[in-house]
Amino acid sequence: MKKSRVKQLCAVALAATLGLSVLAGCGSKTSDNKSAATGTDKQELMFNLGSDPKTLDPGLNQSVDGSIVIVNAFEGLYKLDDKNKAVPGQAEKCDVSADGLTYTFHLKKDLKWSNGDPVKASDFEYAWKRVINPETASEYSFQMMYIKGAQEYNTGKGTADQVGIKATDDSTLVVTLAAPCAYFLDLTATPTYMPLDQKIVEANKDWATDAKTLVSNGPFKFTDYKIKDQIVLEKNDNYEAKDDVKLSKVTMKLVTEPTSAWASYKSGQFDMVYDVPTSEKAAAIADKSATVFPELGNAYIDFNVSDKQVDPEAAKALKNPKFRQALSMAIDRQSIIDNVLKAKQVAAHSFVPEGIIGPDGKDFENKKYFDPKGNVDEAKKLLAEAGYPDGKGLPQITLLFNPEGGNADVMQPIQDMWKKIGVNVELQTQEWKVFQDTRTAKNYQIARDAWGADYADPMTFLDLFVSTSPQNNAGYNNPVYDTLISSAKKEADATKRYEMLHQAEDMLMADMPIISLWYSNRTHGVKDYVKGIRKDMLGNIFFTNAYIQGKK
């Protein structure tokens, strides 16, 4: 998910900005950690995660909520430190060949699963090949396509034995890439690359829904999981760095309604909440009952431009670039940020967000593709050019979104802005789990979407829209775009690679299968007695070094 290894892609300044810890007072000092471990405070944290994760299977997960759980229970070969740098996790070290194609990982000694089974190199080989296996149908399999033979196996043109992943003994994993990848070590820190205890997974079809079979190798282990109620993690005494873990228990509640969860937080029932209601953010940030965390991500709207359309008239409009551009131009993003979100987001003017530093030391963002404040007159002009002057002749179109996280507060003003140019859309909601499936199946017309980086490189955003990407919810299909992205993945020259990626974004913004809205951050409610929480730029929250100090 991040990026240090063969080449450093992000500047130290970016890491310092995005690697954030909530350390009130002097909580970052070792002496404070010791007092937390030996003091009178009960080392149990009650956290409202909010949405119920669709899955806790690392190889199938594709959402931030699931990732937050997974990164606290599992650990990959590498992990990210507090500067978002990839450092050894379950691996002791990694040797990289001179040509950048072969990675030899050496595991630490005496690693164990939470059930006491030994963690072996073959657990990584099994888990990674399981993601690639087409029968697994992992929507994150695209993150494995850097590995030699993975594309062929995933598309039925090769076998598992031909994939460049091999455990040569219990402590050595040799990985061969199809082409050099500057951020491969970062990828090994992501949930998709987490290991699995093969005998547990193969013996239990529904292993990821039961705490008894959710065997993990990270700082915490699962002790309870009740869907739509709670996920309970307790300190994993089999974790190799268990002495760094101060909390004895993290209870993640799944209260989906932010207002209800916030009321519980204010009354002291929660120590931390993931979502702060939109109407409460400004005041909460001001009185420091909530904290704004930077993230490398964006919020956007998908147009269904695929052939999977039920209404041919709606499909005709949605596939018209002028129509899509008109709707984008009609949105005043800054107004939404100032009057609705109120949490210091940055209005988007591109798809790749600000904050990714290129080989020239400059931000990848190099142009403004549109005015973030919009332009109603220009939007009306584009709509007329699309064949729908003042919206005349348009069929009924529906904007679909999940209600969790206060999304209705944003979609309603967007609906009003579109109405000003004559485009009337109906708002419709679906529960998060259902919504994800609906969007993936492209059984919608227009839908809310968002993406958080998996690693600090423009590719994590731009390869979403290749025609074969499982995350291409818009159904965008442009062979020239596909070729550009494929070529960029193989290009060793960093400057040339960035030139290709700029061309790809130019193409994406011209075709506009999506409307980019704002660059993300996230406001969490965190009590001042909760110390040592770490939030990375990808949106993950780590409880490994967290502790309670001074709770009344």
Q: 141-176: per-residue pLDDT in tens?
A: 999 999 999 999 999 999 999 999 999 999 999 999
Element (H, E) at 521: strand 514-526
Mean pLDDT of 247-256: 97
What's the pLDDT at 231?
98
Q: Are residues 163 and 240 in the same domain?
A: yes
| Cα first-last separation, the chain | 37
With respect to residue 93, please indicate whether it lies within any of the assigned structural domains.
yes
Q: d(Cα 459, Cα 143) in Å, to the nearest integer?
A: 11
Domain assignment present for residue 6? The answer is no
Residue 487 has pLDDT above 60, yes or no: yes
Mean pLDDT over 374-389 rounds to 97
Task: Name the maximum alpha-carbon separation found in the chain.
Answer: 71
% of the chain residues with pLDDT over 70? 93
* Band (191; pLDDT cuts 50, 70, 90): very high
Neighbour-count burial for 171-180, b at 16+ CB within 10 Å, e otherwise: bebbbbbbeb
With cut-offs at 50, 70 and 90, classify the pLDDT of residue 6: very low
Q: Please check whether residues 323 and 189 belong to one and the same domain.
A: no
Q: Looking at residue 406, what is its pLDDT?
A: 83
Residue 12 has pLDDT above 60, yes or no: no
pLDDT of residue 302: 98
The pLDDT score that the predictor gives to residue 23 is 38
Q: Quick one: 398 and 484 in the same domain?
A: yes
Q: 329 and 238 in one domain? A: no
Task: Convert the pLDDT of each residue in 41-83 to its tens digit.
Answer: 999 999 999 989 999 999 999 899 999 999 999 999 999 888 7
Using an 8 Å Cβ cutoff, are 272 and 526 in contact? Answer: yes
Report whether 500 contacts 490 (CB < 8 A): no
* Residue 280, domain member (yes or no): no
Note the pLDDT of residue 526: 97
- Residues 449 and 442: their CA atoms lie apart, in Å, by 12
Is the pLDDT assigned to residue 29 strictly greater than 80? no
Mean pLDDT of all residues in 250-263: 96
Whether residue 173 sits in one domain with residue 127: yes
Q: Is 284 inside a domain boundary?
A: no
Mean pLDDT of 21-26: 38
3 state DSSP class of 264: helix
pLDDT single digits (tens) 390-449: 999 999 999 999 998 789 999 999 999 999 999 999 999 999 989 999 999 999 999 999
Pair (65, 156) in one structural domain: yes
| Range(s) of the domain holding residue 140 | 12-271+527-548
Confidence of residue 454 (pLDDT cuts 50, 70, 90): confident
* Sequence-ordered list of residues with C-beta below 8 angstroms from that of 176, at least 6 positions apart, any chain: 101, 102, 103, 147, 148, 164, 165
| 199 domain-assigned | yes
Distance separating alpha carbons of residues 219 and 197, to the nearest angstrom:
16
CATH code assigned at 382: 3.10.105.10
Which DSSP string corresponds to 393-438? Answer: TPPPEEEEE--GGGHHHHHHHHHHHHHTTT--EEEEE--HHHHHHH
Specify whether 189 is located in the same domain as 256.
yes
Domain-located, residue 505: yes
How many other CB atoms sit within 10 Å of the CB of residue 209? Answer: 14
The pLDDT value given to residue 358? 81
Q: Is the pLDDT of residue 28 over 80?
A: no
| pLDDT of 84 | 78
| Count of other CB atoms within 10 angstroms of residue 536 | 28
Exposed, middle or buried by CB within 10 Å (0-12, 13-18, 19+), for 395? middle
Supply φ then ψ for residue 3, to 5 degrees.
-170, 70
pLDDT greater than 70 at residue 470:
yes
312, exposed or middle or buried, with CB in 10 Å at 0-12, 13-18, 19+? exposed
Nearest to 145 by CA among 184, 89, 99: 184
Of 109-118, 179-188, 259-268, the poorest mean pLDDT is in: 179-188
Q: Do 110 and 240 meet the contact criterion of CB atoms below 8 Å apart?
A: yes
pLDDT beyond 80 at 110: yes
Inside any domain, residue 3:
no
Q: What is the Cα–Cα distance from 50 to 256, expressed in whole angstroms?
A: 4
499-543 pLDDT tens trace: 999 999 999 999 999 999 999 889 999 999 999 999 988 889 999
Regarding whether 124 and 240 lie in a shared domain, the answer is: yes
- Give the number of domains in the chain: 2
pLDDT band at 39 (very low <50, low <70, confident <90, very high): low
Same-domain check for residues 463 and 538: no
Q: Report helix angle 321-329 to 376-385, nearest 10.
A: 170
277 lies in some domain: no
Residues 432 and 538 in one domain: no
Say yes or no: 231 and 299 in one domain: no
Q: How confident is the model at residue 277 (pLDDT cuts 50, 70, 90)?
A: very high
The whole-chain average pLDDT of the chain stands at: 91
Q: 22 pLDDT exceeds 50?
A: no
What's the CATH number where 114 sits? Answer: 3.40.190.10
Do 211 and 342 belong together in one domain?
A: no
The pLDDT assigned to 16 comes to 34
Q: Alpha helices, DSSP H only, in 225-311?
A: 258-266, 281-286
